[in-house]
Amino acid sequence: MTDTAKPNDIAKGLEGVVFTESKLTFIDGAQGILTHLGIPIEEWAEKSTFEEVSYALLHTKLPSAAELAQFDAELRANREVPAKLLADVAAYPRTANPMQALRTAISELGLHDAQSEDTSDEARYAISVRLIAQFSTVIAAVARALGGQAAVAPRADLTHAANFLYMLTGKEPTTEQARLFDIALVLHADHGMNASTFTAIATASTLSDMYSCVVSAIGALKGPLHGGANEAVMGMLDEIGTPDKAEAYITAKLDNKEKIMGVGHRVYKNFDPRSRVLRDYAEHVASKEGKSNYYQILETIERIVVERMGSRGIYPNVDFYSGTVYADLGIKKEYFTPIFALARISGWCASVIEYTRDNRLLRPDALYSGATNQHYVELKDRK
């Protein structure tokens, strides 16, 4: 910062700082509104697919039927990854953090891409299509490798969501399972200037390559303050155990001013609209599969949190219910954050492409608060 800056001029966490324009995502946290290209997230979830959302974010427009079919065909054609990469993933330590493994694998994936160093708009787009397609293959391979299983080859006859579940489990999902997972991907595809998207843009602003931008984003998402909240929610549910213990558990947490996982959001001071969509699906799956314990616990937690904290703008967020949806699909909780990345790759790529079309190197200032008027002291004279 300049010499005239004062400590109260610092925007901690860059909160409230506007550094660019975007046509992708709008969020009104006070009203609980989230839109992509001006279209409410609820409509995307109800009527669209992850393939279409990905196209819309990359092109900033809805596709025609022909454009969507071509884009879908490109995704299906680019699902395979190099055999050498799969062999390397299979050799990762079984104790590796899945996000560590994903970060490493995507970095290596760039080594196999002859176009990886090309930072032109056209190359960034082509790489984005490949990354969206291949993220699912890499994540499924990581999950199977760390579990001691061989990778399952992708199938071009399945949708993006169905193909991932097939590669993850080795079994073709039902139409309902595939659609449920597709909706979860749609809800997580982009969310404005979150930490990982900002990190990708910061890297892109140096005119670095697309793979470096995405690996940077993965590193940011790995942090528990960004990704991983839905995994923590599942840990909380397991700790509570049964619905009859939920009220006492949450009341004690609130009385002791302890954090409730999946509750509260930096942006939203109302219900996260994505959580409303997932709540309905979580309820449906719980009743259909006879797995009502998790949902009943969450329902109790939500009621108490809203009663006691709603007036302060603290409500359940998207992570509150997403974990139960993933768990009901047979996905282990340690892979919830990689699946977050599986969805957010579209938003990361779209944001990098959008920002670098009118690029400016990101170079913020910091207010110096250290010592002044000091002089070097010879090593022999130091105490």
Q: Catalytic pick from 28, 59, 226, 284?
A: 226
303 φ/ψ angles, rounded to the nearest 5 degrees:
-60, -45
Residues sharing a CB contact under 8 Å with residue 308, sequence separation 6 or more, in sequence order = 254
Note the Cα 120 to chain centre separation in Å: 25
* Residue 319: active-site member: yes
* Residue 265: active-site member: yes
Cα(243)–Cα(173) distance, integer angstroms: 29
Q: Which residues pair with 292 in a beta bridge?
A: none
One-letter amino acid for residue 119 of the chain: T
Decide: residue 359, CB within 10 A, 0-12 exposed, 13-18 middle, 19+ buried.
Answer: middle
Q: Catalytic pick from 265, 328, 375, 381?
A: 265
Q: Are 35 and 53 in contact (CB under 8 A)?
A: no
* Residue 112: active-site member: no
Q: Catalytic pick from 190, 272, 319, 328?
A: 319
Cα(25)–Cα(341) distance, integer angstroms: 17
Cα(144)–Cα(205) distance, integer angstroms: 35
- Enumerate the active-site residues: 226, 265, 319
